[in-house]
Amino acid sequence: MKKLLIALSCVVFVLGIAIGSTVFAEMPGPDPDALWNHITKVSPYKEWSFWPDHQGMQPGRAPHGPLHKVYVNDQALNSSKPPLQYGAIEVKENYSPAKELKAITVMYKIKGYNPKDGDWFWVKYTPDGKAEKFGKPKGCIGCHGTRAKNDFVLIHEFK
Ligand code: HEC
């Protein structure tokens, strides 16, 4: 009986590690290349959702493109009030008036990364995934920080 219990607890332990590593090890750290890999290969953002109040292509303002689409992952979508859950990612495709993709800007919520400004990791990518700006850029934070109470999110209003 004792042996069986020990064997069983080993199985549970190993299973726990296996499940834990598939669910958690997937989330990248504050690294633009790892994040790009995550949002294009591990969990392609084009398969994510839109905010219910911000579907598909929408007109936008400077400094972002005049047209955009904002995709959100489940951690963002399931956040019913600010702050968003850790692991939340918003991917914004920025288009020219002729609907050419010009840039991809991303906000990714990482626990402990930058507590004073909402723990967001910011990246601006070229359409093929080269990070032009990343980390805690003053520009991104300054402008989005006007809505710090909405957890720095501008296109979706939390009620
Ligand atoms: C001068 C103001 C300004 C700056 C600087 C700025 N943004 Fe934005 N951002 C906006 C506005 C306004 C929106 C709402 C959508 C739109 O009008 O394009 C937005 C929307 C977004 C969104 C969609 C989610 C949301 O919050 O609504 C992301 C992601 C984003 N910005 C990332 C960035 C990143 C990354 C940077 C820095 C490289 C940045 N932004 C710099 C004004 C700004």
Amino acid at the residue 64: H
Amino acid at the residue 57: M
Q: Does residue 109 line the site of ligand 1, with CB under 6 A?
A: no
Write down the pLDDT at residue 2.
67
Looking at ligand 1, which residue's alpha carbon is closest to its atom 20? 154
CB 41 within 8 A of CB 57: no
Exposed, middle or buried: residue 155 (CB in 10 Å: 0-12, 13-18, 19+)?
middle
| Ordered per-residue pLDDT tens for the chain, 159 residues | 666 666 666 566 655 555 554 555 579 999 999 999 999 999 999 999 999 999 999 999 889 989 999 999 999 999 999 999 999 999 999 999 999 999 999 999 999 999 999 999 999 999 999 999 999 999 999 999 999 999 999 999 987
Distance 43 CA to ligand 1 centre (A): 22
Write down the pLDDT at residue 159.
77
Distance 19 CA to ligand 1 centre (A): 35
User: In sequence order, what are the residues at sequence separation of 6 or more whose Cβ sits closer than 8 angstroms to the Cβ of residue 73?
Assistant: 43, 45, 48, 49, 87, 88, 89
